[in-house]
Amino acid sequence: MIKTSNEIFSTAGFPDVLDINKDSPEFGGKVGKAIENEWFKRNKNSDSRFYDNQFKYHRLRLYARAEQPIQKYKNEMAINGDLSYLNLDWTPVPILPKFIDIVVNGISNRSFSVKAQAVDSLATEQRSKYVIEMEKDMVAKQMLMEGQEVLGVNGFANDPNSVPETTEELNVHMQLNYKQAIEIAEEEAIDYVFKANEFNDIKKRFDYDVAVLGVGAMKHTYDPSFKSGIKIEYVDPATLVHSYSEDPYRQDCYYFGEVKKIPLTELRKINPEITKNEMEQAKGAAADWEVYHRFKENQRSGFDGHETNVLFFNYKTTKDIVYKKRVNPNTGKVSLIEKAEDWNPPADKLGDSKRIVKTIDVWYEGALVLGSNILLKWELVKNMVRPKSNNSTAMANYVVVAPRIYDDRTESLCQRGLIFADQIQIVSMKLQQVAARVVPDGVYIDADGLNEIDLGDGSKYDPKRALQLFFQTGSVIGRSLTSMGEFNHGAVPIKEINNNSGRAKIQALIELYNYYLQMLRDVTGLNEASDGSTPDSRSLVGVQKLAALNSNTATRHILDAGVYMTKKIAEAVGYRISDVLEYSDDKKTFIQAIGKANVSILQEISKLYLHDFGVFIEISPDAQEKEYLEQNIQQALAKELIYLDDAAELRDIKNVKLANQLMKIRRQAKLKEEQERQKDLIKTQSEEQTKTAQAKAQADQAKEQAKAQAQIAIDTNLKDLENRNQDEEMSRKEYLMGVEFEYNMQIRGMEANTKTTVENQKEDRKDKRQREQNTATSKIADQKAKGKAPVDFESSEDSLDGFDMSSFEPK
């Protein structure tokens, strides 16, 4: 028997939020049936909200794959439903898929990294301490450098080479270089969970859904059986249910859920206590569900009797944590004891104890077989995600993003182009139809004109021969007069027929095709500069770049949706990691799994749960931003404002704004360094000039000294030479005087000897004369005495023994 809608759906609505029996299956069953009623109960003239959404998403996905139904195009082209005269290729033109792929692949190419910053008091204190120490080093840098140079003692609290010069440089340093070990451990842990869940592949599906459907969703859960303990799952928006919301990020939703068609045998894995009778009810409910939603008519379900539809849902409500506060009258010590939610102190003990209530958000998870009252599961969500800064709130397991939403209705990039994609398809059909009807140019033959022609050789000029002559030579034979001499109206028997009516139609259709294509570009924001088309050759390069930038701006909301999803999932993973490390029995296994690639962070990972983190996503710049940055780098290099090493470091920074700030700092540092170098150069040159002048002066002085010394040496040498000459002269004079003296002595000796000789001779002569006188006297006396003649006393003999003495005087 088929159940009616009143039997399948409950109209009771959601249970009272003030009900304290929220853990009871009855409460969970009311929640499940209320969700079922909102999403699956059919309206009067339409399908249910769930299957309306599912059909809409299915249609958009078909368009995004160029697989949309072609019946609407056949209806457009047919005449009273008759297509017998059309032989066309009905395959949809894949225009929309190209635009979708450009957007999705462009976003997927933008790499991102998850950055974690510890925001708890302990980490903040460490960061502040580091900044203070760095500022001290900045202020005393010059003095510390001089002390290190003079005394050889390092007084820096940090590496002297990394100490910034200005406050702006310190801010950039803190963003680029400062990272606490606990933050590195958190990033490593999140990265490990992402890789274990192949998050990049899940995000590509999410980006595709946002571009095609206008909404995307993911789910994070704690699963001890999974290798990372934390599971991230893709959620198909076509199976998603949620409470009414106009928030693009669905943060105000109080329930989420998804519908899965699962085998009946899987029901026992969800609830091992399910009975055989309940299994039969689930099977019957599945069959009734198929009939109620008329799946047999549209063949949407494919029910085979072995599966059933199960709604898995999360429901947000509040829970009161009740404590008994008691003050010891003797010691004044306060104690808190947790009590049941409905506990109240007895009236007679109000003075001794007090009821303290803390209200927190909680999420329950349940599973309901659709079309029945079989509640498979209802319990508190395990390891609820609670920020440490506000543990009274809890994050949902589902993260849903719909960047363009109004009145809980989504709008997508694909949806914008549907009408123009249909028009392009129809124009394509029309082009095929016109092309099929176009005939080539022909000729008209006037048979009567041919009959008037006589070739003169007896042969007949029939149409066949006339066509051969015309097509081979282009010549036509005709007669202006008939055989009777009258004017021949068939003077030119063959005339060309120009069938050019199809050309104009084809040109008009091509223009219409380009018009709809341009309209598609206009509504999607993807212009020729970014959709893979050849840009206008007359457009300037700058204009083309601006057009590409406009395309990026038009699809920015899709990129932002992906960034938000990544951020929220990373936050949830971070909170779950803390819970795993603090409460899970698999703590050691989880730590080893994360830290196996980096043993140095094992100790830090074990302390993650003590810290609270802020998560932000660092996206690599797109091609346009990279180009702008590269242009700035090239200009700075060309003007020698930065070093080549600085350029390599700047290219590695994903944040373009931060890269430009660092470039400014490096440029100022290089300018200052160049100024210092110029000062040093000037100082060096001055010192060199001084040294050169001193050296020149010293050289001149040395030259003068050398000259003076040389003059002195010359003078000395001259003096010495003079002295030597004098000495030598004296020696010569002495010698000569000695010689002279000797000669004089000899002369004197000789003179003396001569004198002596002369004296002797004189004496001898005197003696001789005396003797001669005495002889003469004697002779005279004798002569006188004897009276002899006078005697000649001159000797007649002048030679003595042969020696002639006649030459000597006197004679």
Q: How confident is the model at residue 628 (pLDDT cuts 50, 70, 90)?
A: confident
CA distance 624 to 619: 14
792, two tokens: 């000649």
CA distance 179 to 118: 10
CA distance 143 to 122: 32
Which range has the worst mean pLDDT, 281-290, 379-388, 478-487, 775-784?
775-784
DSSP code, position 395 = B
CA distance 524 to 526: 5
* Largest pairwise CA distance in the chain: 238
Sign of the alpha-carbon torsion through 489, 491, 493, 497: negative
8 A C-beta contact, residue 376 and residue 271: yes
CA distance 453 to 477: 8
262, two tokens: 């699962």
Q: So what's the pLDDT on residue 217?
A: 96
Which helix or strand (DSSP H or E) is residue 336 part of? strand 334-339
CA distance 126 to 118: 10
Top mean pLDDT of 163-167, 251-255, 699-703, 796-800 is at 251-255
86, two tokens: 């059309």
């994903």: which residue's tokens?
Answer: 654
CA distance 657 to 669: 18
Closest among 314, 319, 172, 296 to 254, alpha carbons compared: 314
Is residue 4's pLDDT more than 50?
A: no
More confident residue, 196 or 46: 196
- How far is CA 650 from each of CA 615, 623, 628, 631, rounded to the nearest angstrom? 23, 15, 12, 12
% of the chain at pLDDT higher than 70: 81
Q: So what's the pLDDT on residue 538?
A: 46
Backbone torsion region of residue 158, taken as left when φ is above 0, otherwise alpha when ψ lies between -120 and 50, otherwise beta:
beta
More confident residue, 168 or 547: 168
Which range has the worst mean pLDDT, 341-355, 422-436, 797-811?
797-811
Is residue 136's pLDDT more than 80?
A: no
Beta strands 494-497; 442-445: pairing state: antiparallel
Look up residue 216 and give its amino acid: G
The mean pLDDT of 490-512, rounded to a whole number, is: 80
CA distance 5 to 37: 10
8 A C-beta contact, residue 317 and residue 298: no
The mean pLDDT of 479-504, rounded to a whole number, is: 76
Q: How confident is the model at residue 542 (pLDDT cuts 50, 70, 90)?
A: very low
Q: So what's the pLDDT on residue 302?
A: 52
DSSP code, position 339 = E
Is residue 399's pLDDT more than 90?
A: yes
Q: So what's the pLDDT on residue 758?
A: 67
The mean pLDDT of 28-34, rounded to a whole number, is: 92
Is residue 604's pLDDT more than 50?
A: yes
Domain boundaries, the chain: 441-498
Q: At 222, is the secondary structure helix, strand, or coil? A: strand
Any bridge partners for residue 222, and if so which? Answer: 230
pTM of this structure: 0.73
Is residue 711's pLDDT more than 50?
A: yes
33, two tokens: 């049936």
Top mean pLDDT of 12-21, 138-147, 540-549, 558-567 is at 558-567
Q: So what's the pLDDT on residue 549?
A: 44
Around Cβ 165, how many Cβ atoms within 10 Å?
13
Top mean pLDDT of 289-298, 311-320, 728-737, 779-788 is at 311-320
Q: So what's the pLDDT on residue 552?
A: 61
Cis peptide bond N-terminal to 810, omega within 30: yes
Is residue 583's pLDDT more than 70?
A: no
Concatenating the DSSP letter of every residue in 152-197 gives: -----SS-GGG--SSHHHHHHHHHHT---HHHHHHHHHHHHHHHHT
Q: So what's the pLDDT on residue 2?
A: 32
Where helices occur in 438-500 by DSSP H, the ranges are 447-451, 463-473
pLDDT in tens, 156-188: 777 777 777 777 777 777 777 777 777 887 888
Q: How confident is the model at residue 142 (pLDDT cuts 50, 70, 90)?
A: confident
Q: So what's the pLDDT on residue 593?
A: 67
CA distance 546 to 358: 56
Q: How confident is the model at residue 364 (pLDDT cuts 50, 70, 90)?
A: very high
The mean pLDDT of the chain is: 78
Sign of the alpha-carbon torsion through 90, 95, 98, 103: negative
Is residue 3's pLDDT more than 60?
A: no
Is residue 78's pLDDT more than 90?
A: no
């849903």: which residue's tokens?
Answer: 400
Q: So what's the pLDDT on residue 500?
A: 67
Is residue 566's pLDDT more than 70?
A: yes
DSSP code, position 702 = H
Q: How confident is the model at residue 622 (pLDDT cuts 50, 70, 90)?
A: low
The mean pLDDT of 741-749, rounded to a whole number, is: 72
More confident residue, 297 or 248: 248
The mean pLDDT of 485-497, rounded to a whole number, is: 77
């995307």: which residue's tokens?
Answer: 216
8 A C-beta contact, residue 417 and residue 523: yes
Q: So what's the pLDDT on residue 340?
A: 76
Where helices occur in 496-609 by DSSP H, the ranges are 501-524, 541-554, 556-583, 587-595, 602-605
Buried b (16+ CB within 10 A) or exposed e, 331-370: eeeeeeeebeeeeebeeeeeeebeeeeeeebbbbbbbbbb
The mean pLDDT of 712-737, rounded to a whole number, is: 74
Look up residue 207 and give its amino acid: D
Closest among 271, 110, 186, 97 to 654, alpha carbons compared: 110
Q: So what's the pLDDT on residue 547?
A: 42
8 A C-beta contact, residue 553 and residue 464: no
Is residue 762's pLDDT more than 90?
A: no
Q: Which residues contact 52 (CB under 8 A, 6 or more apart)?
A: 46
Which range has the worst mean pLDDT, 439-448, 693-702, 736-745, 785-794?
785-794
